[in-house]
Amino acid sequence: MTYIIKGKTGDWELVIGLETHIEVLSHSKLFSGASADYNPTVAPNTQVSFVDAAMPGMLPTLNRECVNQAIRFGLAINAEISKRSIFARKQYFYPDLPQGYQISQPAEEPPVVGRGWLEIESDNGSVKKILIERAHMEQDAGKSFHDKHPNKTFVDLNRSGVCLLEIVTFLDIKNPENNSYITSPDEAERYLRQIREIARATGVSNANMEEGSMRADVNVSVRKVGETGFRTRTETKNMVSFKFIKTAIEFEARRQIEIYESGDEVSQDTMRFNQDRGTTSVMRSKEDALDYRYFPDPDLLPLIITDDQIEKIRETMPELPAAKRARYMGELGLNAYDAARLTESVEVSKWFESAVGDKPARAKPVANWMISELFAHPEFEMKPADLSELVDMIAAAEINGKQAKDIFIKMLDGEKGNPKEIADRFGMKQITDTGAIEKAVAEVLAANAAQVAEYKSGKTGMLGFFVGAVMKATGGKANPAAVNEILKEKLI
Ligand code: ADP
Ligand code: MG
């Protein structure tokens, strides 16, 4: 279903553009040799070179590793890689920006990663292409702390100069028929999850919103259903949770609709999100928009990328989540839901593939056990080989499903050994001997004459009752398929 907001004057739809920042994984910073292993447990200002602290006369040196990461991400989103791009200075003043400018790649020039796309599930369940305008490299800023002292601000420059990749979605203003953009809060979340998946699968970034290695600026406008062309948008800055992003989009859309419906115009403002209230408010209006006075950084040469460099990186590209999902569904016969759950992280898909091993027939049962049991017990570090063994034992009719579950629970509770050893230790062996099952069936039928008569009068739904009784009589050890078969035979 298309996401629509009903207003007093009619139906409104949303137009959403996201500018997502991910912190690039690299050994050192974008233009200095200081460690880029930014993590909050490191003591403040211990990973700061003279370049990051903007000491006079220090010169930036481009870190090729960051460039390769940008190319890697670009290839993963099917993008054009620019053979030539430049770095420019974006001037603004803030205590956590000692240079007085951020080195970035200006919007007017080709960025390292040009036009690309990725696919998300749309609100009506179909696959939707989201166009990406660009992804460019820039320096991260330091961090200011305003809450450590009553009248002082502290600055930590560890993050200053770490490479960010800013990924901007595309809106085809000249061609409004091209609806490859985000149109609902849920689609925004799915898009961001895709970015995160791709960043993690390629090793470009941890893209973790809680840890601050992924954040997004959210552009929203609304328009009447059926209207062509786009209206004025606002931009809500620095969003760091999926939930807040969805709340902000929804709130901002309703605020704009109210403005239009009261006869006013929306102005192109920059907003802040108020977490406690789930509302947005104006941070600066268009009139106060900052003039960054971009100019090419005279200390940096243009960035030249060769075909050879791109091809070398292409050869090292891992299988991406979308391709992996398609393979799980095609080769292994999983449904879309299972495939999506099992490709959420590289660790999970590795575990899954290891448990399946070279037996595709294990895929479905392994997926079921992982999704319904293992995901519910994240603290349980089961070995993939143990799950392989467990599902093989069921497939070979050595144990039945109930016994498998009992073994699993024992392992969960710390029982030592692999499933076979545990089954032996506790005498869990499925009864497949038809003679023994026939005997139990005969006893159950004899003891439930009234129910047998009912069944024979046409109440075949009662089969489950007999199956249950036979299973109980065999201490849960009988092979349920054999029990079913024999019961049906005897009940005719
Ligand atoms: P800026 O340079 O001011 O950041 P951009 O042109 O780079 O603006 O656009 C930023 C983001 O806003 C992009 O994702 C773009 O698709 C989106 N955007 C542009 N116009 C609109 C609009 N009318 N409604 C919603 N999003 C928009
Ligand atoms: Mg922008």
pLDDT tens-digit series, residues 9-19: 999 999 999 99
User: Are 174 and 41 contacting, i.e. CB atoms less than 8 angstroms apart?
Assistant: no
The residue whose C-alpha atom lies closest to atom 15 belonging to ligand 1 is: 17
For residue 231, which atom of ligand 1 is closest to its CA? 23
> Distance, CA 19 to ligand 2 centroid (Å)?
7
Distance 17 CA to ligand 1 centre (A): 6
Distance 447 CA to ligand 2 centre (A): 78
Q: What is the mean pLDDT of residues 44-56?
A: 96
pTM of the shown model: 0.80
| Ligand 1 geometric centre to CA of 271 (Å) | 14
Atom of ligand 1 nearest to the CA of 18: 14
Query: pLDDT category, 321, cuts 50, 70, 90?
Result: confident
Taking the CA atoms of residue 404, residue 407, residue 409 and residue 414 in that order, the dihedral angle to the nearest 10 degrees is -160
- Ligand 1 centre from 173 Cα, in Å? 10
What number does the ligand 1 atom closest to the CA of 169 have? 14
* Structure confidence at residue 2 as a pLDDT band (50, 70, 90): confident
Pocket of ligand 1 (CB under 6 A): 15-19, 107, 168-171, 219-221, 230, 233
Query: CA 137, CA 22: separation in Å to the nearest integer?
Result: 10
pLDDT at 432 over 90: no
Q: Let me know: does 192 contact 216? Beta carbons within 8 Å.
A: yes
With a cut of 90, say whether residue 478 has pLDDT above it.
Answer: no
pLDDT tens-digit series, residues 348-389: 999 999 999 999 999 999 999 999 999 999 899 999 999 999
- Closest atom of ligand 1 relative to the 181 alpha carbon: 16
Ligand 1, pocket-test mutation among 138, 219, 256, most atoms within 8 A of CB: 219
Using 50, 70 and 90 to split pLDDT, how confident is the model at 142?
very high
- CB of 38 within 8 A of CB of 93? no
- Rounded mean pLDDT of 167-192? 94
Instruction: Enumerate residues 6+ apart whose C-beta is below 8 A from 473.
Output: 440, 443, 444
